Amino acid sequence: MTSQLLSGATGVLVLADGTVLQGIGVGATGDAVGEVCFNTAMTGYQEILTDPSYMAQIIAFTFPHVGNVGTNIDDVEQMSGAAETSARGAIFRGVPTSPANWRADSDLAGWMARRGVIGLAGVDTRALTRRIRERGMPHAVIAHDPQGRFDLEALVAKAKAWNGLVGLDLAKDASCLQPFTYGEGLWNWPEGYAQPAPEPKFDVVVMDYGIKRNILRALTSVGARATVVPASTSAEDVLARKPQGVLLSNGPGDPSATGAYAVPEIRKLVESGVPVFGICLGHQMLSLALGARTVKMDQGHHGANHPVKDLTTGKVEIVSMNHGFTVDRDSLPAPVTETHVSLFDGTNAGIALKDRPVFSVQHHPEASPGPTDSLYLFDRFAKMMDAAG
């Protein structure tokens, strides 16, 4: 039965346990199901909402003021044009404000409407965040109807029926359909993103599980010609391109599910001796290929203020993280060295092989959340490729 919300709300978040949060609908109309997580970043919301790693998730922003820098055509992270291959919804404390930034060409709410992203404002995001911290990330439906009419029973049933991210391979949908070469470099103020990228020194094949543009920009900026290939590409096809290195990209979903077809190919790439660098989902699947396990986290790591220690140098860096699964550090086999660790909860944040040019990190070194603490990892990868000849 369709019910009229007497409060005048035009948006709702309906959790699988029947909890209903009412507010003001923002962006696209309709409804979308997903896992609710919170993100602690103060800005970068456009990059967050277009990060393919957030596919099938609804993001609650803990920072109360969102929208003031607007949106633009440059800060879209996903390579695919389909909005379904990034975040399904967004939750805000306040209604997104009007843009006040020289780079903006659109307001956030209008941009979300055009992309099909459903938003909900006026929610107590602090209480929602505490709930996630205490009970884990819930399955939910976010809905927006300007008339304020919602079939709450149907929305609860939809949230309950959703199976969640465990066992879900989303990389196949976030990945490209055919190989392509990327040639844009990192941002250089005030000109913008470097065009063209520096003359390539290395040929790098990127396994696309849901690649972010800025990873490709960081690669080209250390001298790589980045050739992006679909997630299902075989190791034989990758090695036939004679790359100096292989990058395993970030992406959404359960690493064990994507690993059903990706892990055997990653294992072959490692055995070939070619330098391998993994990021986020790529880190998790590399760990699986080396004999470790991955597990689902209760609330995950989502934000731009996470302290991570590089155990190889002793330095602490502030990084951007976005993952709901983690590598079980106790499952790392003997040939693997733990190189990075989260200082928030002690979970694994990086590994390397002792006898091969292979390493990976859980965080996003390309994201530069204010500091550029982690860009050195791309230089480390370049040095590996140099040493490998």
Residues noted as catalytic: 280, 364, 366
Question: Which residues, in sequence order, are CB contacts of 156 under 8 Å at separation 6+?
Answer: 14, 15, 16, 18, 141
The structure tokens 């994201």 sit at 367
What are the counts of helices (DSSP H) followed by strands (DSSP E) for the chain?
10, 21
User: Per DSSP, which regions of 28-84 are E strands?
Assistant: 30-39, 57-61
At residue 52, the 3 state secondary structure works out as helix
CB atoms within 10 A of CB 8: 9
Separation of alpha carbons 111 and 197, rounded Å: 29
In order, the DSSP letters of 305-368 are: EEEEEETTTTEEEEEEEEEEEEE-GGG--TTEEEEEEETTT--EEEEEESSSSEEEESSBTTS-
Strands 30-39 and 139-144: antiparallel
Q: Which residues contact 319 (CB under 8 A, 6 or more apart)?
A: 304, 306, 307, 308, 363, 364, 365, 367, 369, 373, 374
Contacts of 313 (CB under 8 A, 6+ apart): none
| Angle at 116 (CA atoms; ends 64, 146), nearest 5 degrees | 70
Q: Give dist(CA 108, CA 160) in Å, integer.
A: 30
**3-class DSSP state of 180:** strand
CA distance 357 to 310: 17
- Residue 249 DSSP symbol: -
d(CA 186, CA 188): 6
